[in-house]
């Protein structure tokens, strides 16, 4: 007799919650990332931060509209639609959503494009209270050395207090899983003249599994895009917004009773179940944002009874404002409002020294940086030559046969290019030029030590993108730079 046993694979979902950095979350133990700059750290399951109003508004700064045009606005609104189309949290089931939603568009990848819609979706999920699970799965709270410490140390020479803040949505217990992948870690320490820290190096049990790619993790490389939220993302949103998740919360400062009537502010409140994004109205003549009044039903619990009250909220500016930066302070793709103004209600919940729970407070500014070509000095060996580096540009693309859209796509005329220079000395001096002249005109970026003999480092086209030059090891006692037409 032959028995055939079929094992149904169980999807292992997990999520991490975001909140303001706790005092122990420092650069010396792997926090406060320097790439896109983390705005907070992973919270324990009872310390999540969330919105407690069911409607939030969004809008676009003129800088965004002028650079990205109608296609860019549509890309952001498509990301918002993915969130608006979600069912209430009480009807969400993480297992009904894909394990992975990352796809590749190889044409966009060859053009160095990063998907505006997908990056927007990731940033919105972040500001709904989700942290990247690859940051929460293992968190190094403290570390110490077990043997003599060289400039670099790995497991065996270093030990630490490692917390798990990545949670299974079916049990709310810590999980070693992200998107069906099982992970472990090793501790790594390194020291130099400028930096000394230890980090948790997260490693997949399956070496072929690749890096976690939930929407909360963000895009990992050019040419990739999200088709929607993953089951891991859904698990986190469901937990935060669930009506079974009851915290003592105060309301946002601009919430009041209908027509100015009395209302209950601080109270035990369940999650709002569903959040909807609506556009902040704009005056068609002046372009200024107009006030909008949102009426909603607030639910709270008192003496064991569920009570509802009618409230109103008047917003005069968008809760989420999308902008563009011509001259960012670093080389990141974007910047956004941090979590330092989020309200910590731990004392109201009976945990006076806790990191939460709390509520997210607007406004949120999401700023996309101009992208383009990077050039670097010749490994610091010569300031009279430059090596072409990475090219990156914002785009919109999907899995269709439609060609990718590259930005800028101004609706009001040609956009001048910006040339940025960073001298990597102790002060990291930064300089910016806006190219004059006609659209598509070509200029030479030149350098000299005496204002007589000029050397061309590279050519730049006035096409609306940004060009960044990084002098890795400036050593000249004096040096001059200029931009001249070809």
Q: Which of the four pLDDT bands, split at 50, 70 and 90, describes residue 7?
A: very low
Q: Are 235 and 255 in contact (CB under 8 A)?
A: no
Nearest to 78 by CA among 194, 241, 226: 226
Grade residue 5 by pLDDT with cuts at 50, 70 and 90.
very low
**253 touches 362 (CB < 8 A):** no
Ranges of beta strands (E only) in 218-352 are: 224-226, 247-249, 255-257, 267-269, 276-279, 292-302, 305-315, 320-325, 334-336, 343-344
Region label for 112, one of left (φ > 0), alpha (ψ between -120 and 50) or beta (otherwise): left
Lowest mean pLDDT among 177-181, 262-266, 274-278, 354-358: 177-181
Instruction: Say if CB 39 and CB 31 are below 8 A apart.
Output: no
Distance CA 123, CA 437 (A): 36
What value, to the nearest 5°, has the Cα angle with vertex 19 and ends 16 and 24?
Answer: 100
Tens of pLDDT, residues 199-224: 888 888 887 777 788 999 999 899 99
Model confidence at 428, pLDDT cuts 50, 70, 90, reads low
Cα angle value 304/307/308 (rounded, 5°): 160
| Structure-token pair, residue 86 | 């979600």
Residue 92: the pLDDT is 95
pTM: 0.92
Which tokens sit at 173? Answer: 């217990």
**Cα dihedral 390, 396, 399, 403 sign:** negative
Q: What's the Cα-to-Cα distance from 171 to each of 15, 150, 235, rounded to whole Å?
A: 12, 42, 11
Could you read off the pLDDT of 250-290 as tens digits, one per residue? 999 999 999 889 999 999 999 999 999 999 999 999 999 99
Distance CA 431, CA 445 (A): 13
Tens digit of pLDDT for each residue in 86-140?
A: 999 999 999 999 999 999 999 999 999 999 999 999 999 999 999 999 999 999 9
Q: Give the angle 291-292-297 at the CA atoms, nearest 5°.
A: 145
The DSSP element (H or E) to which 433 belongs, if any, is: strand 429-434
Contacts of 22 (CB under 8 A, 6+ apart): 41, 355
CB distance 283 to 290 below 8 Å? yes
**Which of the pair, 307 or 179, is modelled with greater confidence?**
307
In the numeric block, the tokens 């952001």 are attached to: 76
């Amino acid at each position: 007799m032959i028995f055939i046993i079929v094992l149904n694979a169980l999807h292992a979902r997990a999520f991490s919650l975001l909140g303001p950095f706790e005092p122990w979350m420092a650069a010396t133990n792997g926090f406060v990332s320097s790439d896109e700059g983390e705005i907070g750290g992973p919270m324990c399951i009872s310390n999540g931060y969330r919105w407690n109003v069911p409607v939030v508004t969004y809008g676009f700064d003129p800088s965004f509209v002028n650079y990205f045009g109608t296609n860019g606005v549509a890309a952001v609104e498509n990301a918002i639609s993915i969130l608006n189309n979600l069912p209430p949290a009480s009807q969400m089931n993480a297992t009904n959503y894909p394990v992975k939603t990352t796809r590749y568009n190889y044409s966009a990848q060859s053009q160095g494009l990063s998907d505006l819609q997908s990056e927007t979706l990731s940033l919105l999920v972040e500001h709904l209270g989700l942290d990247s699970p690859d940051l929460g799965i293992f968190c190094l709270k403290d570390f110490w050395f077990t043997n003599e410490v060289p400039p670099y140390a790995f497991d065996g020479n270093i030990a630490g207090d490692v917390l798990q803040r990545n949670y299974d949505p079916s049990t709310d217990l810590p999980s070693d899983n992200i998107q069906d992948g099982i992970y472990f870690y090793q501790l790594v320490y390194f020291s130099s003249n400028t930096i000394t820290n230890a980090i948790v190096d997260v490693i997949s049990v399956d070496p072929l599994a690749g890096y976690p790619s939930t929407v909360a993790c963000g895009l990992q490389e050019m040419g990739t895009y999200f088709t929607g939220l993953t089951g891991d993302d859904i698990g986190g949103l469901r937990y935060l917004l669930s009506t079974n998740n009851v915290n003592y919360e105060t309301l946002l400062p601009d919430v009041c009773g209908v027509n100015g009537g009395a209302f209950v502010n601080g109270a035990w409140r369940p999650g709002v179940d569903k959040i909807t994004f609506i556009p902040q109205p704009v005056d068609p003549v002046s372009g200024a944002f107009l006030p909008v009044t949102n009426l909603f039903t607030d639910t709270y619990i008192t003496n064991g009874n569920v009570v509802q009250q009618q409230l109103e909220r008047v917003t005069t500016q968008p809760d989420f404002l999308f902008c563009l930066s011509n001259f960012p302070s670093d080389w990141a793709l974007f910047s956004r409002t941090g979590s330092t103004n989020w309200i910590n209600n731990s004392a109201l919940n009976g945990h006076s020294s806790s990191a939460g729970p709390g509520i997210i407070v607007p406004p949120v500014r999401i700023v996309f940086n101009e992208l383009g070509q990077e050039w670097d000095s010749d490994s610091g060996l010569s300031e009279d030559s430059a090596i072409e580096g990475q090219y990156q540009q914002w785009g919109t693309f999907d899995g269709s046969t439609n060609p990718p859209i590259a930005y800028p796509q101004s609706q009001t005329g040609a956009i001048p290019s910006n040339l940025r220079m960073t001298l990597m000395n102790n002060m990291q001096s930064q300089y910016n030029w806006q190219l004059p002249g006609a659209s598509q005109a070509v200029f030479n970026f030149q350098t000299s030590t005496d204002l007589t003999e000029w050397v061309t480092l590279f050519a730049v086209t006035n096409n609306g993108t940004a060009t960044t030059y990084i002098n890795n090891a400036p050593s000249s006692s004096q040096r001059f730079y200029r931009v001249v037409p070809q």
